[in-house]
Structure 1
């Protein structure tokens, strides 16, 4: 599969690739499940997504008071949103924080990476680390590579290790998401998390884990109307798109 050219990087949020069933995911992960030590040259098709935008190097300023609060595109029942997931939510921040941010993301989505590299550090420092808000990232894989990455993050260990693994996967997205040697690149990242090659292969062969991650994606779509990534629910209000630090700060303050 062809890697998109750099001219495609301005494409808006990637629309949901429908039909990501467990069987389709398994078919797409055959190369991962059959991974062996000499598979570094094995082929896994490149992810069908826009080429990563260059990471901003300047530090983003904190939200200004005159920033217009983005308009929510819908609202869901918070109690329903916070219950019934196939896998336990991983909460970043104080579980009792008054503002709850639920993010649906795909690991191969460049807009999701933009949010985590450009907005998340500011929001974490100002709101999450101070106990004003908490963040829950839920799996919404668009393709088998994103599914594989989410599986490896879940296999990394406890909540802190899963969060750290997600951070590294976003940070190194160009190396594995658009590579012809995705298996080898994901194994390198997994080894950084302390996983052996045997654990790596066992994780990607875990059909029950695959099923549960796909169930989270399907519930997000069917019950909460998620059809693009990233999509955020802030105390139930829905916002689609990678919000800037100022925009997300304004949204959080609205709910404080």
Structure 2
């Protein structure tokens, strides 16, 4: 009897190991770095808000980002679309993007996204992030951005008009300064999820887990 019991025990142990391997790993939620007044965070800023999703969504995410930041590019290339499909398109999340350019090239990229035809801001940002290595590190950033912009329908004239718009540049810089001064943004990407602050890029699983705690 004892010899018959041994294989059964081994099988049970094997099944337990398989079950444990199949169980999803628990997502460790990042610690919030503090909280800001949501009403103040969502008050009108220097530029019209660039947002996706319903205004009355239960969760609002505000992302401060820089167009030349590789971490921001990775978030938008690998995480953003999945979050948009799962939460924004279903009406649960409103996603707001705000400019936080660390260098003149990032500011220029933001200006071009702002100058894109109505409804094309997010597609332009997405294209620039997907091609970030092509233009952000190019010897001649202006020429590289011109080629990218032509793909989005810009002409040489509209490209030049956008990049010489001093008010637009001032407003982009003011958005960054407001984020830094009023909400303590120092790095990109920085996310405010219902007012709670998180710095650094996030995976789909991590951001989903955070959102789920607020739904």
When normalised by structure 2's length, the TM-score is 0.87
For 2:77, the equivalent position in structure 1 comes to 117
Structure with the larger helix share = 2
The whole-number CA distance in structure 2 between the counterparts of 1:254 and 1:80 is 23
**Residue 50 of structure 2 is aligned to residue 97 of structure 1:** no
For 1:218, the equivalent position in structure 2 comes to 177
For 1:254, the equivalent position in structure 2 comes to 213
2:63 counterpart SS class: strand
Q: Which blocks of at least 5 consecutive residues in structure 2 are unaligned?
A: 1-23
What value does the CA root-mean-square deviation take over the aligned residues? 1.1
**Residue 168 of structure 2 is aligned to residue 236 of structure 1:** no
**Residue 162 of structure 2 is aligned to residue 203 of structure 1:** yes
The structure 2 residue matched to 1:176, chosen from 121, 132, 135, is 135
1:136 counterpart SS class: strand
1:74 counterpart SS class: coil
The whole-number CA distance in structure 2 between the counterparts of 1:81 and 1:90 is 14
The whole-number CA distance in structure 2 between the counterparts of 1:212 and 1:78 is 21
Q: CA deviation at 1:84?
A: 3.1
Q: Which blocks of at least 5 consecutive residues in structure 1 are unaligned?
A: 1-63
The whole-number CA distance in structure 1 between the counterparts of 2:151 and 2:194 is 35
> Are the structure 2 counterparts of residues 76 and 65 from structure 1 closer, same or farther at C-alpha, using a change threshold of 3 Å?
farther
The structure 2 residue matched to 1:135, chosen from 95, 99, 116, is 95
For 2:45, the equivalent position in structure 1 comes to 85
The whole-number CA distance in structure 1 between the counterparts of 2:204 and 2:177 is 29
User: Larger Rg: 1 or 2?
Assistant: 2
Q: Which runs of 4+ in 1 moved over 2 A?
A: none
> Are the structure 2 counterparts of residues 242 and 174 from structure 1 closer, same or farther at C-alpha, using a change threshold of 3 Å?
same
The whole-number CA distance in structure 2 between the counterparts of 1:144 and 1:237 is 29
The whole-number CA distance in structure 2 between the counterparts of 1:78 and 1:227 is 19
1:112 counterpart SS class: helix
For 1:32, the equivalent position in structure 2 comes to none
Bigger CA drift: 200-209 or 126-135? 126-135
Q: CA deviation at 1:119?
A: 1.1
Following superposition of structure 1 onto structure 2, how do residues 26-41 of structure 1 map, counting pairs within 5 Å?
none
The structure 1 residue matched to 2:121, chosen from 157, 162, 170, is 162
**Residue 186 of structure 2 is aligned to residue 227 of structure 1:** yes
Q: CA deviation at 1:95?
A: 2.2
